[in-house]
Amino acid sequence: MNENESQSSSAWTTAIVLLYGACLGAALFQILAVSPQKSKPSEMSRLHIKKDSSPSVAVVPIYGVITIGEDGPFSNKSTDNLNKRLKALGERNDVKAIVLRINSPGGSVGAVQEVCDEIAKLKASGKIIVASMGDIAASGGYYIAASADKIYCNPGTLTGSIGVIFELANVEDLIKKIGVKMNPIKSSAHKDIGSPFRTMTADEQKIMQSVIDDAYGQFVDAVASGRKMDKARVKVLADGRIYSGAQAKANGLVDELGNLEAAISKAGELAGIKGKPKVLYEEEPWERILQSFTQSKESLFKLPGSGMSGHLAYLWEYAE
Amino acid sequence: MTVPVPEIFYSPQSAISKLKNSFGITNAILIQLSSWLSLIAGFFLLCGKETSLGWFIFVYAAGVLLFSAAKISSALLIHLFAEILGGEGKITKLLFLLCFADLPFHFLLPLGLLLKNASFLAAVPVILILWGWSAFLTVKTLQVNYNFLP
């Protein structure tokens, strides 16, 4: 190769490298979602909602303990994210019905009620909501299901557990044994209500009970209005016990016995979709891979109701 | 030595022969890494997928590990068969030259920008064509490295 050819080749290589750099910059700008004109479709893409235009039924999974919390780098299971997904689905005209796939022992009162608020908005906007229970949809899981237009469960699904729990530990005797004394300095009499370092007073017991009763009343109201049942009848069923799917159906807590497919078909039928409805599944593909690494650790070290201590919860604690 | 990028595309055999004698390992590694970066970024673009920087780095790092393992294993196999067939060449040189065989994957980046959000179905033929081109360059690399030239 003579000098001229070599220079020409070098110039071409430099030009190609520069062009490649520009393409790489533009590509990363698009992929990393840093575009200032972020539109709704990109929000949907971030939430892993696939684009489609034909009338569809979306399946939204509600798995595990329902809580409001920070999402980790590899997981987005807080109700904030769930509500965002529901909202995004609500804004789509092609989504005519939503099937809530519930496999949850319940969760914190606030989180459950926030999800129910979002479901109420979806219903108001004309979307059909059908709940499909998996292994378990107890307490807060049932609270959410009760707000659906129809509830499907398996004959052996564990459901019910309509009630509220606020579990507080009392380690007074333990800290006495190890010679520790707590000295709380408080602004008012009940500021350290629920302290694990002393026995609860009768007054505090009354206050706590009134809070529990109020939240319980809200649960009963939600079931009565969602299921269109008499409040007195709900109260009879809502003594905190769990029901099998078949028992729940016999008591009017669910509508039909059937699996997820049956719930999807019903949702399509209620939404007026002719034939087999198109189904949109929402899931984070990477999360599944990472879950396989984290799941075993969680099941080994998770105690019943862990993470809910000190929270008012619609939760069946011993389901995990 | 500057890598004769255009020459690899229009006159692969002579370009690879020149590269064989230069052995600039840094250039080869940079080209290989940028090829895989283009492949992954282009795939994200064609599938219309957005992600966070952390996830992108994770996917890229995992891709580099996976592709490196695949490349080294295939080079070992190629070397074994080439020696059986009477070829004469070093495996280190083969690995070095194979880095340039992935050059066509750089085109996935501009193509991804042009065909953004075209779906997975559009990504498959584009990747297949580029893979075919890369396979052609791999064959040329083998011919040069093991003196199988006609």
DSSP string, B61-82: HHHHHHHHHHHHHHHHHHHHHH
The token duo for B16 is 């690879």
Q: What is the pLDDT of residue A303?
A: 42
Give the amino acid at A108.
Answer: S
Contacts of B118 in chain A (CB under 8 A): none
Can you tell me whether residue A298 is helix, strand or coil? helix
At A8, is the secondary structure helix, strand, or coil? helix
Question: Considering only A274-283, A309-318, B61-70, which range has the smallest mean pLDDT?
Answer: A309-318
Q: How confident is the model at residue A68 (pLDDT cuts 50, 70, 90)?
A: confident
pLDDT computed for residue A49 by the predictor? 53
Among all residues of chain B, which has the CA nearest to that of A13?
B5
CB atoms closer than 10 angstroms to residue A267: 31
Between A14-18, A74-78, B124-128, B139-143, the lowest mean confidence (pLDDT) is in A74-78
Residues of chain A positioned with their CB less than 8 A from the CB of B35: none
pLDDT tens digits along A93-104: 889 999 999 999
Q: Which residues of B touch A26 (CB under 8 A)?
A: 113
The number of residues in chain B equals 150
Q: Please give the structure tokens belonging to residue A287.
A: 């999360």
Q: Do B6 and A9 touch (CB under 8 A)?
A: yes
**Which of B5, B37, B39, B44 is the mutation pick for testing A, counting most A CBs within 10 A?**
B5
A283: left (phi over 0), alpha (psi -120 to 50) or beta: beta
What's the CA gap between B135 and B102, in Å, rounded?
8
How does residue A283 score in pLDDT terms, banded at 50, 70 and 90? low
The pLDDT score that the predictor gives to residue A151 is: 96
Whether A10 has its CB under 8 Å from any CB of chain B: the answer is yes
Q: B42, A27: Cβ pair inside 8 Å? A: yes
How high does pLDDT run on average in chain A?
82
Among the listed residues B61, B102, B113, B7, the one whose alpha carbon sits nearest the alpha carbon of residue A26: B113
Among candidates A127, A145, A129, which has minimal Cα distance to A137? A145
Instruction: Supply the DSSP symbol for A313.
Output: E
For residue range B47-96, what is the model confidence (pLDDT) as tens digits? 777 778 888 889 999 999 999 999 999 999 988 988 888 888 888 888 88
Contact A128, A259 (CB under 8 A): no
The rounded distance, in Å, linking the Cα atoms of A132 and A242 is 17
| Digit-coded pLDDT (tens) for A157-210 | 999 999 998 888 889 999 999 999 888 899 998 898 989 899 999 999 999 999
Per-residue confidence band for A129, with pLDDT thresholds at 50, 70 and 90:
very high
Q: Which residue has the higher pLDDT, B148 or B70?
A: B70
B119 Cβ neighbours under 8 A, 6+ residues apart: B46, B47, B48
Run of H or E including A257 = strand A256-257
In angstroms, the separation between the Cα of residue B106 and the nearest Cα of chain A is 8
User: Tokens 């879950």 correspond to what residue?
Assistant: A291
ipTM: 0.74
Cα B66 versus chain centre, distance: 14
Q: Could you tell me the sign of the dihedral formed by the alpha carbons of A45, A48, A54, A56, in that order? A: negative
Task: Quote the pLDDT of residue A3.
Answer: 62
Q: In whole numbers, what is the pLDDT of chain B averaged over residues?
A: 83
- Helix or strand holding residue A62 (H, E): strand A56-63
Share of chain A above pLDDT 70, in %: 78
Length of chain A: 320
Packing angle of the helix pair B91-101, B53-84 (nearest 10 deg): 130
Q: Is the pLDDT of residue A224 over 90?
A: yes
Tell me what pLDDT residue B107 has.
87
B106 pLDDT more than 80:
yes
Chain A residues touching B21 at Cβ < 8 A? none
Nearest to A73 among B4, B18, B54 (CB): B54
What average pLDDT score do residues A259-282 get?
Answer: 90
Adjacent-strand bridge partners of A278: A56
Residues 6+ apart with CB under 8 A from B10: none
Residue among A168, A169, A197 at smallest CA distance from A183: A197
List residues of B whose CB lies inside 8 A of any A CB.
2-7, 18, 34, 37-38, 41-42, 44-45, 48-56, 106, 109-110, 112-113, 116
Give how far Cα B82 sits from Cα of A37, A224, B67, Å: 54, 78, 22
Q: Is there a contact between B48 and A45 (Cβ–Cβ < 8 Å)?
A: yes
How many helices (H) does chain B have, and how many strands (E)? Answer: 7, 0
Q: What is the pTM of this model?
A: 0.58
Q: Is the pLDDT of residue A317 over 80?
A: no
Which among B4, B5, B41 has CB closest to A28?
A: B41
**pLDDT for residue A294:** 47
Cα–Cα distance for residue pair A236/A224, rounded to 1 Å: 12
C-alpha span between A48 and A175 (Å, rounded): 49
What span, in angstroms and rounded, lies between the C-alpha atoms of B124 and B46? 9
Tell me the longest C-alpha to C-alpha distance in chain A: 99
- The catalytic residues of A are 139, 191
Task: Inform me whether the pLDDT recorded for A306 exceeds 80.
Answer: no
DSSP A175-202: HHHTT-------SSTTTTTT-TTSPPPH
Q: Return the H-helix or E-strand segment holding A244.
A: strand A242-244
Q: Would you tell me how many other CB atoms lie within 10 Å of the CB of residue A181?
A: 7
